[in-house]
Amino acid sequence: MTTCNCDIDQLLLCNDTDILITGAQKQTDTLTGKSYMAYTIRLGNVETRHRYSEFESLRKALVRLYPTVIVPPIPEKHSLADYAALQTRVKDDMPMVEKRKRMLQSFLVRVAKHPTLGRDHVFHQFLEDGVVWSDVLHSPPLSMLAKNPLQTIVSKEQQQQADLQADRIILSSSLIPIPSPTYVLKSPDERFEESERFTFRIANYMNNNLDKSQRKVIRRLGELANDYAELGAVYNGFSLNESDQLANAIEKIGQAVDASYMETAQMVTSLEGEFAEPIQEHSQFAQIIKQVLRFRHMKHAQVEMIESCLESKKATLENLQNMEQEARRLEEAISRERTIGANAVDIDQLNDPSMTTTHTRRPPTWSDPVRLLQALGYSLQNMIDVDPTATRRNQIGKTKDAMDVLQQALEITRKDLAGASVDLQSELDRFQHEKIKDLRNMLIAYAKVHIQYCKQNLGSWQEARAEIDKISS
């Protein structure tokens, strides 16, 4: 992918430059007077600040720009009920702020490392100091995007080769059908159908099992840490009631329990940041992949619906052309009958001078009932439509024009679907590689946290045991 070569792009290309969220400060909106948390982002020597809603708008912008890309998640927003009940406490809650800092930093780092998203200039502008973010959201390329992503070209190959503006005009035509989310594909691609089923299973398992269980464990460890804090104080108070070696031993037990409190609290913090939060991220990733696969499903559905519309228009055109041919035959038949009727004069009448000025024309006879019905139908149409021939020919012209648009749209969407499928498969492969790497790091971190916890506790309790051994029996 070509790069914009801006200063931020050059910084991101340097392997030794990291994106960090270094702080969070409460600020006040000058227009509304409401307070919000602004997060300080540092990239090299460039520093800028953004609120949560701007991170959210960045992610939405990237999704609109790249519908087939797995855009990393941001931490979930607190519900209105949370804010109504807790208001300032929630906003000022330091553990929540620290967690959001970590997860927003992870979002920026993942975007920066992505081969497509990391080179996008909209992302670069988000990191650039002095840029008014609201102006970016209302400027090209975002302002030029169609409201419906199905009305634009999404595959990389087609974007490079196609006349995007001309294609957008065709895809925006009212003739082009927009499928509903419930549309069932007639000829689904089994690769992506299986990916969708697998992703659904993973998302369901991570949401209902892994993430849920891990949150429960961390919550209980936090409760255990608080219990240790209380118990340590109890032992320390108990030691004051004794003397000599017994008092020292009880005090040492209290100190070991205090150490258990601190180590458990530290383990909770470490597990939250190094294991639970990555699990939450991957739980969100599973939902994001479902959305990306659903977009490809809609793109495929659009192709099938255009094919159906085109077949329907072909049938309509064939019917109109048959009607036109039949009308011409009827007109010719009626014209012949009139000519025959005018010329078929009785010879006796020609010889009778008194009848020379009086001609009798017999009405046309219809030996074929079908032709009679067709003639009646044609006559009825003449009564209803002032100029049925012109109307029919106008319909034929409009149908041909519609078929031209649909045929062009079909060629565009077929190529775009093929390109989008290649892009999406490449994206799924890239994500699978990243997921394996992430899970490996998560499991290593999980093991290290417990090893550190056990080592520190072991040392504290060994000291307590040594003090207990000094008690004379």
For residue range 244-277, what is the model confidence (pLDDT) as tens digits?
888 899 999 999 999 999 999 999 999 999 999 9
Q: Report the percentage of the chain scoring pLDDT > 90.
A: 59
User: For residues 193 and 185, what is the distance between their CA atoms, to the nearest angstrom?
Assistant: 10
pLDDT recorded at residue 323: 87
Q: Name the pLDDT band for 376 (thresholds 50, 70, 90).
A: low
Tokens of 149: 């992503």
168 contacts: CB under 8 Å, gap ≥ 6? 146, 151, 152, 153
Determine how many CB atoms are found less than 10 A away from the CB of residue 371.
14
pLDDT recorded at residue 84: 47
Residues 394 and 472 in one domain: yes
Q: Which helix (H) or strand (E) holds 28?
A: strand 19-28
pLDDT recorded at residue 83: 45
Residues 282 and 403 in one domain: yes
Classify residue 410: in a domain, yes or no. Answer: yes
End position of a domain, from candidates 99, 114, 145: 145
Classify residue 7: in a domain, yes or no. Answer: yes
Residues 178 and 94 in one domain: no
Classify residue 359: in a domain, yes or no. Answer: no
pLDDT recorded at residue 81: 46
End position of a domain, from candidates 124, 145, 166: 145
Looking up tokens 């004379």 gives 472
pLDDT recorded at residue 345: 52
On the 0-12 / 13-18 / 19+ scale of CB atoms within 10 A, 405 is: buried
Classify residue 379: in a domain, yes or no. Answer: yes
- For residues 178-199, average pLDDT: 92
β pairing state of 35-43 and 19-28: antiparallel
Residues 113 and 190 in one domain: no
pLDDT recorded at residue 423: 94
Q: Would you say residue 22 has pLDDT above 70?
A: yes
- For residues 414-420, average pLDDT: 94
User: For residues 369 and 442, what is the distance between their CA atoms, to the nearest angstrom?
Assistant: 84
Q: Name the pLDDT band for 358 (thresholds 50, 70, 90).
A: very low
How many domains, the chain?
A: 2
Q: What is the mean pLDDT of the chain?
A: 86
Classify residue 50: in a domain, yes or no. Answer: yes
Residues 282 and 424 in one domain: yes
End position of a domain, from candidates 145, 165, 194: 145
pLDDT recorded at residue 2: 58
pLDDT recorded at residue 80: 43
Q: Would you say residue 375 has pLDDT above 90?
A: no
User: 60, 44, 42, 43: which is closest to 52 by C-alpha?
Assistant: 60
Q: Would you say residue 58 has pLDDT above 90?
A: yes
> Looking at per-residue confidence, does 1 or 313 come out higher?
313
Using DSSP, state whether 21 is helix, strand or coil: strand
User: For residues 13 and 107, what is the distance between their CA atoms, to the nearest angstrom?
Assistant: 17
Q: Would you say residue 149 has pLDDT above 70?
A: yes
What is the tens place of the pLDDT at every residue in 311-357?
Answer: 999 999 999 888 888 888 887 788 777 777 666 555 455 455 555 44
What is the tens place of the pLDDT at every residue in 71-120?
Answer: 999 998 765 445 444 445 544 578 888 999 999 999 999 999 999 999 99
Residues 436 and 413 in one domain: yes
Q: Report the percentage of the chain scoring pLDDT > 70.
A: 85
Residues 141 and 171 in one domain: no
Q: Would you say residue 420 has pLDDT above 50?
A: yes
Q: Are 57 and 22 contacting, i.e. CB atoms less than 8 angstroms apart? A: no
CATH number at residue 44: 3.30.1520.10
Residues 199 and 225 in one domain: yes
- For residues 41-49, average pLDDT: 94
Instruction: List the alpha helices (DSSP H) in 272-387.
Output: 277-343, 347-351, 369-384
Domain that holds residue 320: 156-340+367-473
User: For residues 1 and 406, what is the distance between their CA atoms, to the nearest angstrom?
Assistant: 31
Classify residue 353: in a domain, yes or no. Answer: no
- For residues 431-446, average pLDDT: 95
Residues 261 and 138 in one domain: no
pLDDT recorded at residue 162: 62
- For residues 200-213, average pLDDT: 85
> Looking at per-residue confidence, does 112 or 387 come out higher?
112
pLDDT recorded at residue 168: 86
Q: Name the pLDDT band for 399 (thresholds 50, 70, 90).
A: very high
CATH number at residue 456: 1.20.1270.60
> 248-251 long-range CB contacts below 8 Å, 24 or more apart?
248/467, 248/470, 249/464, 249/467, 249/468, 249/470, 249/471
User: For residues 91 and 102, what is the distance between their CA atoms, to the nearest angstrom?
Assistant: 16
What is the tens place of the pLDDT at every residue in 134-145?
Answer: 999 999 999 999
Residues 125 and 59 in one domain: yes
Classify residue 274: in a domain, yes or no. Answer: yes
Residues 137 and 180 in one domain: no
User: 173, 158, 174, 69: which is closest to 414 by C-alpha?
Assistant: 158
> Looking at per-residue confidence, does 373 or 180 come out higher?
180
Classify residue 362: in a domain, yes or no. Answer: no
Residues 233 and 130 in one domain: no
User: For residues 160 and 419, what is the distance between their CA atoms, to the nearest angstrom?
Assistant: 11
